[in-house]
Amino acid sequence: MPLGERVALRAMGPGDAEALWRWNHDSEVMRWMDDTYAQTPEQVRERLTERPRNAYGDLLFGVETLDDAVLVGLVALHGAEPEKGIATLDIYLGEKTYWGQGLATDAMRTACRYAFEDMRLHKVTLTVVTENHAARKVYEKVGFVEEGRLRKVFRRDGAWYDMFTMGLLSTELR
């Protein structure tokens, strides 16, 4: 279990379905993330039950606080290939009462450290909607840099937004 200063990353399972369902149905949490089709809590539990165990190319971790062992979010590393040494990272904190406390930064740093040290990757990439200033601030704090811009690829409330592609090399982690 990768440990940060304030969070631990652990495998997610069927017992996390209620929290995941609640987060995915909260418009504030999902504001700058891709929507998926609506699922019932039972469907989310089934998806987590049937999901293959974490493996090198597809990892899904719950972000749990060290202080009170509360599941507050998730982080995924996917698309990793040893030959290329690159993976894509997705993260969000769903428990809004824990926002603004540095947990996302710690979770990002912990996931990236795991990617570089344990998975021996060379680079981690992500995309972020240009208007998601809070997320971008977290990414930059950890060392991610803007590498490009995808024009008008994210739609929310009838408007199209650009996305930044960002990358972090193993030597750049802060």
Kindly list the averaged pLDDT for each block of 10 residues, start to end, along the chain of length 174: 95 94 92 81 87 87 97 96 93 96 98 97 98 97 98 96 98 96
- Exposed (0-12), middle (13-18) or buried (19+): which is 53, by Cβ within 10 Å? exposed
Q: What DSSP designation does 131 have?
A: T
Q: What is the pLDDT at residue 53?
A: 85
Q: What is the pLDDT at residue 34?
A: 84
Longest dimension (CA), the chain: 42
Q: What is the pLDDT at residue 81?
A: 87
Only one residue has tokens 């199209």, namely: 160
Q: What is the pLDDT at residue 54?
A: 84
Q: What is the pLDDT at residue 120?
A: 96
Tell which phi-psi region holds residue 157, choosing left (phi > 0), alpha (psi between -120 and 50) or beta.
Answer: left
Predicted TM-score of the model (pTM): 0.92
Q: What is the pLDDT at residue 17?
A: 93
Phi first, then psi: give them for residue 50, nearest 5 degrees. -85, -15
